[in-house]
Amino acid sequence: MIEEKGGSAQILERLMSSYGVNTQKDLASALEIPPNNISGWTQRDSVPGNAIIKCALDTGVDLRWLVTGELANANYAGVGQLVGGDLYKQIISNGGKPVLRRIMDAYGFTMQKQLCELLGISSGTVSTWVRRNHFPGEVVVTCALDTGVSLQWLATGKGLQQKENAQLSVSSSIPRKNLVAGILQDAGYWEINLSFIAHTISEPIFISSNTGAWIVDMSVAGISNGRWLLGVDDKYDIYNITLLPGRRISVTNKGNTFSCGVDEVTAVGKVVIAMDFVF
């Protein structure tokens, strides 16, 4: 379930680098475990997820970097005030049903069967977690990397649930284009905080013309009822779309309406915010 790029030896090196120690004995001391545990990890070529989680929350290093070595060893904010043994005790005490519930929520699952099918584990394994109040460290790491949900929240139930890499949760720069005579012209970037929007905008862009402005989600492709940025014969504009039978649509813009086939226009993105200028 955890993709251990390079094997346990490389992961142990990253753990030691994160704690600033040079020997496995010192690493064991930092993790507050017996030194022979680490020897066992090396022999089995497997590092427990609990140790990886503790290191990430203790030191603030990037979780994906710890597991795969693919990202820079960069700190992130908000790891909480507990460290070391106190933090580890809190993590372990959040096993069983509580951590299973957070994992299910992170994936958006309503049935344990869905989680079992995704991870390739048996329902009996999940039942054992609950019965023994077990903290499934490897699954928590996998879930955090899969979903981007806050590791602190997933492991301890503390802090915010939002994804640590969620776009537009704070003030962000999004691409800006000016719409002039049906042509989209690059116009730099626009600063905005879109955290007030209930749903996620995956690929936002700000479009401005002399009559209005719009924020368009470019990741939405399939045409549906609503307002869209469309290309019609290589000219772009904002249109109101109504679906018709037979894969046809009714297209309205500035009081003019026409109908055509879905494939006769190019859906660039769906409008999520419209701003009309008042003069």
Residue-wise pLDDT for 21-60, tens only, equals 778 888 999 898 998 888 888 888 888 888 888 888 887 7
- Alpha-carbon distances of 139 from 49, 77, 124, 132, rounded to whole Å: 8, 23, 15, 16
Is the pLDDT assigned to residue 242 strictly greater than 90?
yes
Q: Residue 241: which pLDDT band, with cuts at 50, 70 and 90? A: very high
| Superfamily holding 8-156 | lambda repressor-like DNA-binding domains (1.10.260.40)
SS3 274: strand
The CA R_g of the chain, rounded to the nearest whole Å, is: 25
Which overall architecture, per CATH, does domain 172-276 show?
A: Ribbon (2.10)
- Domain ranges in the chain are 8-156, 172-276
Return d(Cα 173, Cα 78) in angstroms, integer: 23
Shared fold status for 8-156 and 172-276: no
Give the model confidence (pLDDT) of 183-220 as tens digits.
988 888 787 766 666 666 778 889 988 888 888 888 88
Average pLDDT, rounded, for the chain:
80
Q: Which amino acid is located at 68 in the chain? A: T
Q: Give the global pTM.
A: 0.45
pLDDT at 111: 86
Averaged pLDDT for residues 58-80:
60
pLDDT at 199: 66
pLDDT at 10: 79
